[in-house]
Amino acid sequence: MLEFIWIFFCILSMGFIINIFFKNSIEINESMLSRENNLDGFRYFLASFVAFHHSYLSINFFKYGEWSHTISFENYIGGFGVAVFFIISGYLFAEIPFKKNNWKDFYIKRFFRIAPMAYISSLICIIISIILFGITDFIKLLFWLDAGLFNFRPNFNNFHFSSSINAGVTWSLQWEWLFYFSLPLLSILFKKDNIKNTIIYLIIFLILTYILIYFKKPSYIQIILFSWYFTIGFISKKIIKARISNKIRIKKTNLNIISLALLMACFLIGSNTDHFFILKIKYLLPILYALLFFSIVLGANWFGLLTNYGFRLLGDASYSIYLIHGIFWFLLNTACYSLKIFNNSILYYILSFFTWTFICLCSIFFYRRIELPFINYSKNLTKK
């Protein structure tokens, strides 16, 4: 419970701090794909969940030499954050490439959206590893510069888990690329943009999911579940476009209560470690994720929290938060391990809070100076 309070204290306080000190100095980019203000703030929460999930993994790695969790809640929230990020990707790209079928322009824009910060993250990891461990094989460094496409990350010298420097976050980029490469096929399936095709697609995935779960093939289950997350977002966009959601009338207050209740339900079910519970109930989590995301799409803003300037700005910077947080936890824990600070919990939490502040501020900087310029460059490039 204390860890739950600590994590939300850090997330909420940083949003309000940014709102107080930066509101009149940094504009929020209004030309991005998603202009649902609440979705922007939601992305900040998701990136933060992943970041604090990795903070505890990093602590245990330095303390015990294992990249593992001892607390179920922290163990769960990282996967939850990534899963809903996949849903958002499916939602944002459900129709954009189908408008003109201009795949060349689409992939150019995706490359300049994903690759620059992925390169920055990898280069920082390489520099840190050279400083701490030295480098003897420069060929290995090239594998770190694939923007997550193949996600092969060879170890540097004697450091047996080099990908822990940035918490190994680029694994999810590989799935993003796979989703983007599947879009031409999806454009054929949805050539007739109607809700009937959407329902057929949903039924097919439902059947595949439960067949593979029945046969208990973990690798297949992972593939289907990740595909499911993209599909949930994809279908949500189709439902919104078909204006079916207009028939759903819920007062904003009630919608916010429902949305927060769904969030808590995800936490309670997802972090439950009972064996029977895991076998029988956890496969229902994608349904909860779908309902939670749909509540956000319908307009839930958690009583104004998700549309607050500070949370929206950090939501814009969520990709940078995702890619660099592991680096700062690694540096913090390297110093704390060397100085034997882990035994002083109060001092460690103070340092963690300042590290989180630095992560957020640097992410805003990288968003403004790296991400946004390349986004604009890709737009100009595809106009020619």
Per-position DSSP letters for 212-278, written without gaps between them: HHHTT-HHHHHHHHHHHHHHHHHHHHHHHHTTGGGG----HHHHHHHHHHHHHHHHHHHT---HHHH
Beta strands in the chain (DSSP E): none
Beta strands in 253-372 (DSSP E): none
What are the pLDDT tens digits along the chain (384 aa)? 788 899 999 999 999 999 998 887 776 665 544 456 889 999 999 999 999 999 999 999 998 888 887 668 888 899 999 999 999 999 988 766 566 668 889 999 999 999 999 999 999 998 998 888 776 677 778 888 999 898 888 877 767 778 889 999 999 999 999 889 988 887 776 665 566 666 677 667 667 666 666 565 556 667 777 888 888 888 888 777 766 656 677 889 999 999 999 999 999 888 876 655 555 566 678 889 999 999 999 889 999 999 999 999 999 999 999 999 999 999 999 999 999 898 898 999 999 999 999 999 999 999 999 999 999 999 998 886
Distance CA(299)–CA(313), nearest Å, equals: 18
What type of residue is 233?
G
Per-position DSSP letters for 111-122, written without gaps between them: HHHHHHHHHHHH
Percentages helix, strand, coil for the chain (3-state, rounded to 5) are 75, 0, 25
Range of the domain at 241: 2-383
Residue 190: per-residue pLDDT: 66
What are the tokens at 381? 């490039």
Which of 242, 202, 232, 226 lies closest to 296 in space, CA to CA?
A: 232
Residue 356: per-residue pLDDT: 98
Q: How many domains does the chain have?
A: 1
What are the tokens at 101? 């079928």
Residue 15: per-residue pLDDT: 96
Residue 34: per-residue pLDDT: 46
